[in-house]
Amino acid sequence: MKKKILAAAGTSVLAALVFAAAPPAPPRAPLGLPTASWPADNPYSPEKVALGKILYFDKRLSADDTVSCATCHDPKSGFTDGAAVSTGIRGQKGGRSAPTVINRAWSLNQFWDGRASSLEAQAIGPIANPIEMGNSYPAVVARLNSIEGYKPLFKAAFGDETIDITRVAKAIATFERTVVSGDSPYDRWKAGQTKAMSPAAIRGLHVFQKAECDACHEGANFTSNMYSNIGVGIAAKETDLGRYGITKDDAEWGAFKTPTLRDIEHTAPYMHDGSLKTLEEVVDYYDKGGTPNKNLDRHVKARKLGAEEKADLVAFLRALSGKGWQDITAPSSFPQ
């Protein structure tokens, strides 16, 4: 009898040790989205999310303490900045609109031109950009090392107090992967809640499919993660050639990454140059067939939709607004 009790106790202790050693499970994906993949070299942990969130909002990562990641990707503006182009240190203007951080966990290459191969690479790109945060990686690491309050946070997230740019990238990227949107009226309607979407939005879904919007805005996150030339900005005095500037591939001349349509109503203005202010303007732009050029995507062509069809399409786009990201707010204080 004594041996049986000891054996049972030993099993219990072993189970407890295994449970304690198991990595914490990431948050569940919201309704409508698949389970997100986490990099093998940067697994989820709540401590890393907590550190990444503080770094994301900390303006001390910029050269003059005026710009943080949240300056251009603000929760109050759907994790964008609501501007046609973003403003960096010393009031400098960038050349492109800030894309939303929402649902980056399901994205592939980052930035409008896909120049960053991972969210980790994207997370620190603006730090060293002279127009955005205007800093250098060594200067940022030195600054963070000078702030005693950061050391226990890095230790909690990574196991020791070492601060380097790779850990900064991993922490910010881990936080960004928790900025999600799902459980929208569309998701609930698709799950069988027949009244979750309005009749106009349901009609708009049919227009969305009829007009081949889903050729590029496909799948659970409503993006192919690929690049298309839709003619936006092609007639500008200094044309932004998008993906071509990275790959030099003629097939990607004037092409930009297809953004997610999740929470699109909250991320105006639209397009890589912020040139379209409303969803109605976006629908009109596509309906006319974009701006003709030598590499216009074959799916971009005049549709001649009626006024009601356009209104229904906008209603459907608004039905893609979900839940999750609205709960994220800036920290009340920062490490000292």
User: What percentage of the chain exceeds 90 in pLDDT?
Assistant: 91
Mean pLDDT of 270-286: 98
Domain that holds residue 302: 183-323
Q: How far is CA 255 from CA 144, 156, 219, 233, 278, in A?
A: 38, 42, 20, 11, 21
Sequence-distant contacts of 288-293: CB under 8 A, at least 24 apart = 290/230, 290/231, 290/232, 291/230, 291/231, 291/232, 291/234, 291/235, 292/231, 293/229, 293/231, 293/234, 293/254
Does any domain span residue 203?
yes
* Judgement on whether residues 161 and 238 belong to the same structural domain of the protein: no
Quote the DSSP letter at residue 255: B
CATH number of the domain that residue 161 is part of: 1.10.760.10
* Judgement on whether residues 114 and 162 belong to the same structural domain of the protein: yes
Does any domain span residue 265?
yes
* Judgement on whether residues 187 and 319 belong to the same structural domain of the protein: yes
pLDDT greater than 50 at residue 256: yes
Does any domain span residue 284?
yes
Tens digit of pLDDT for each residue in 179-195?
999 999 999 999 999 99
Q: 207 or 2: which carries more pLDDT confidence? A: 207
Among 179, 209, 235, identify where a domain stops.
179
Among 179, 214, 238, identify where a domain stops.
179
Does any domain span residue 336?
no
**Residues marked as catalytic:** 132
Does any domain span residue 252?
yes
Which residues have CB under 8 Å from 241's CB, separation 6+?
Answer: 253, 254
DSSP string, 171-194: HHHHHHTT--EE--HHHHHHTT-T
Does any domain span residue 250?
yes
Mean pLDDT of 21-40: 89
* Judgement on whether residues 283 and 152 belong to the same structural domain of the protein: no
Tens digit of pLDDT for each residue in 50-76?
999 999 999 999 999 999 999 999 999
Does any domain span residue 240?
yes
Which residues have CB under 8 Å from 331's CB, separation 6+?
Answer: 53, 54, 57
Number of domains in the chain: 2
Among 128, 162, 179, identify where a domain stops.
179
pLDDT greater than 80 at residue 175: yes
Mean pLDDT of 37-44: 96
* Judgement on whether residues 124 and 220 belong to the same structural domain of the protein: no
* Judgement on whether residues 134 and 217 belong to the same structural domain of the protein: no
* Judgement on whether residues 134 and 226 belong to the same structural domain of the protein: no
pLDDT at 22: 66
* Judgement on whether residues 252 and 143 belong to the same structural domain of the protein: no
Does any domain span residue 37?
no
